[in-house]
Amino acid sequence: MSQKEPSEPLRGDAAYRAQRAEIAKNNDAAYARGRSRRAAKDAEVAQRRMADDRAERERLPIQPEP
């Protein structure tokens, strides 16, 4: 069995590509978190709006029949 030798830090173009991949991964994770938070907020706002509309309809006066 051979042991892996400790790898040297990446240099040059390889370091640039590795850093770029790490940044892209972080950006994707942040984007996903933002989308889930926004979806939860939008659902809450929609639910509150429906409740407000329902309450407003209940407060409307009953129209007399001709």
User: 30-52 pLDDT, tens per residue?
Assistant: 999 999 999 999 999 999 999 99
Tell me whether residue 5 is in a domain: no
The answer to whether residues 41 and 35 touch, using CB atoms and an 8 Å cutoff, is no
Tell me whether residue 25 is in a domain: yes
Tell me whether residue 54 is in a domain: yes
Q: How many domains does the chain have?
A: 1
Tell me whether residue 18 is in a domain: yes
Domain range enclosing 23: 13-58
The answer to whether residues 25 and 31 touch, using CB atoms and an 8 Å cutoff, is no
Tell me whether residue 51 is in a domain: yes
Please report, rounded to a whole number, the percentage of residues in the chain having pLDDT higher than 90: 76
pLDDT score for 6: 59
Tell me whether residue 23 is in a domain: yes
